[in-house]
Amino acid sequence: YSWCYLVTDIVTSLVHHCQNWGREELRSLAAQALGINVPFEEFREAFEVRVRGIKHVLALMAPWDQPVYVSRVWCVFEVFTAVNDAECELTVILPPKEMDTGAEGYLWSSLEQLDVQTAEASVAADKDNILRIVAQGVGFDYLNQVVRQQLLRWLAESAWREALQQFSTGDLFGDTAAEIGAQPLSSCARAAAASESEEKANLLRVVGQNLEYLHRGEEAAEVYAEACSVLERLGKLESHDGAAILTSWALLEQDEKIEEALQQFRRAWTIRISCGSHNTLDAADLLSMMGVAECKAGLMEPGLRHATEGYELRQRLEGRLATPYGATLMQNLGRCCWLAGDDQKFGPHVVRDVVFLGEILGMGIYLM
């Protein structure tokens, strides 16, 4: 369905989508029926049958500063229909020329303001009928929340995916990739003022990680604190996402604020236990990092125990440690042994760490 779009925006957006996701580019025929008054129920039935039959909705967000899609009541209803069908996939697309304009911040703000009650329809009776269906069903607030969160999740993921794609193809390198990734994501997150969401908190976590890479630690700490505050206001800090953000924050602060870092590591671990995510790879990494921080603080017994538990948990879950993450946990355990003055354990761990790194990198390493 199309309202007020430039043909070139439709075509280039579809081509870009097909190229990015490996879809087959088929020719399609667009036709417009003039002067025919289709009854609402007949159109609604055809609409729902097509959405669920095709099983894939492409929502075109153009123009970027004021997307027509979120202002049309049928479009909002279309997204809601798609996300409530487990077999239906929703993909948001943007004209390629608008991806390089810094559009994400404006688009985020537009999506946050989405409200089915203020959306428009070419036929006034259609809007009345859709609002009646929503009011008698899930309600306006629920529909708005579901649609907003789906679209905002797409925006958060797509901004980061774009930077990763450019990095992987060699178009971006090192600091440039992090800078390109951090700026649009940061503007997106800061613009999300109309309502709080878990997506906003996760977006802020990615911004913080990028800022860390750019050696902007103070800014990263502020972003992590803001992300935690968002989840706390939502009552969602005691969650996997909350533990992940606290872990990132603690890792950042452990060099200069060891006591604060330990508090955050321990809180993250308590959260993982309470929400049942303590037997995961993320939990293994958390235990390992917490162990290093404890040993640095002079708490050798719990530090060695946690570093060992993290190492053993990852080994149990992955079956082997010849991976970059496994090598890091091995290195952390060796570091804890060294800090504790246990040379007998420290030596073998470092040797195995070097061997694992050699396997990962495909190098022949000879230890002398």
Express each pLDDT in 192-223 by its tens digit: 434 567 777 877 787 787 777 667 788 889 98
Express each pLDDT in 264-296 by its tens digit: 999 999 999 998 888 888 899 999 999 999 999
Q: Is the pTM of the predicted complex or chain greater than 0.75?
A: no
* pLDDT for residue 266: 95
* pLDDT for residue 161: 59
Reported confidence tier of residue 188, pLDDT bands at 50, 70, 90? low
DSSP 82-115: HHTSTT-EEEEE--GGGTTTTHHHHHHHHHHT--
Express each pLDDT in 323-358 by its tens digit: 667 778 888 888 898 888 875 555 455 545 444 444
| Cα 183 from Cα 210, distance rounded (Å) | 9
Q: Give me the residue spans of the domains in the chain.
A: 1-31+42-168, 303-368
